[in-house]
Structure 1
Amino acid sequence: MVTIRRATLNDIDRIVPLFDAYRQFYDATSDPAGARAFLTERLERDQSVILLADDDAGFAQLYPCFSSVRMAPTMILNDLFVRPEIRCGGVGAALLHAACDHARASGATRMTLQTAVDNSAAHALYVRAGWERDARFLTYGIAV
């Protein structure tokens, strides 16, 4: 059984290598010092929730948001990462479940996430966990 708990600033040394590896997975350059500063700021300002799997197996980072249409809080599951050598062992599913539990407990009415089009392993995990691909809306972005 995988144990998931909410991380605190005391866990920053445990989270930084996972976060840095997550960023590298998406082709970002390794930057442990930048990762530490970014994560520290998010936690100090209470701008995100980081869920940490036992044995530093993986993490999820959630950002609170709001839906104007629902007039209610929502949550963005922005980051989900499991160490490559232990993938397919239930850690990702446990992190997804813990993220949904946290979102519900915080009053969120919906959670959303994005992943790379070619990340088929993640697609399969999300579908198994009950997530549905949005067929109604397209996502656009622009650098500002």
Structure 2
Amino acid sequence: MGAQAKITQASLCQLDAAAGLFNCYRQFYHQADDIELARRFIAKRIEQKSSVIYIAYAQLPAGSTEQPLGFIQLYPTFSSISAKESLILNDLYVYQEHRGKGVARQLMLTAIEYAKSQGCVSISLETHHQNHNAQALYESLSFKKDEGFFSYTLDIQ
């Protein structure tokens, strides 16, 4: 594992870093490069407090420009069965050159601590069948693969 990253909850002060990471995340999933769309989307999430975003930064000497490494975005939701709050981990992304250094693990641990602090009953996520590195990370943190339910989606637009 590499050096510890500094993890910060995003506010509008970190909009550029969060939007840049989100734009790259979308491109990773074959979406068009559109930094303005990313800025609008992330700004709205932060302003409306409709998601919680954490950004990992490289630990640099004081006075240096912060270098973002990756981010995680959580959406609050509810579990009807348990009648408690829950989180959907929708986005986790680390810049290619910083992968394999423990940044994603630090972001995941931060998300887990946040969920505990909010009294959430669970964190749920989805990942691509071929994303074996992510699956290994999630399973190493005790996430359980759901073998009992199918996932359905209806595209509206």
- Give the TM bin, normalised by the shorter chain: over 0.9
Extract unaligned runs of 5+ from structure 1.
none
| TM-superposed deviation, 1:3 | 2.0
> What is the Cα deviation at residue 2 of structure 1?
2.0
Secondary structure of 2:153's match?
A: coil
The equivalent of 1:17 in structure 2 is: 20
The alpha-carbon deviation at position 122 of structure 1 amounts to 0.9
Match of 2:45 among 38, 42, 45: 42
Q: Which has the higher helix share?
A: 1
- Structure 2: distance between partners of 1:32 and 1:127: 32
Matches within 5 A, 1:80-91: 80-91=92-103
Q: What secondary structure, in the 3-state scheme, does the structure 2 residue paired with 1:115 have? A: coil
Alignment of 1:103-142 (within 5 A): 103-142=115-154
Partner of 1:27: 30
Letter aligned with residue 120 of structure 1: H
Q: Which residue of 2 aligns with 1:51?
A: 54
Letter aligned with residue 14 of structure 1 = A
Aligned length: 144
Q: Following TM superposition, by how much is the alpha carbon of 1:86 offset from its aligned partner in structure 2, in angstroms? A: 1.1
**What TM-score does the superposition give when structure 2 sets the normalisation length?**
0.89
Match for 2:144: what amino acid? E
Partner amino acid, structure 1, of 2:108: L
1:79 is the counterpart of 2:82 = no
Aligned partners of 1:139, 1:127: CA distance in 2, in Å? 19
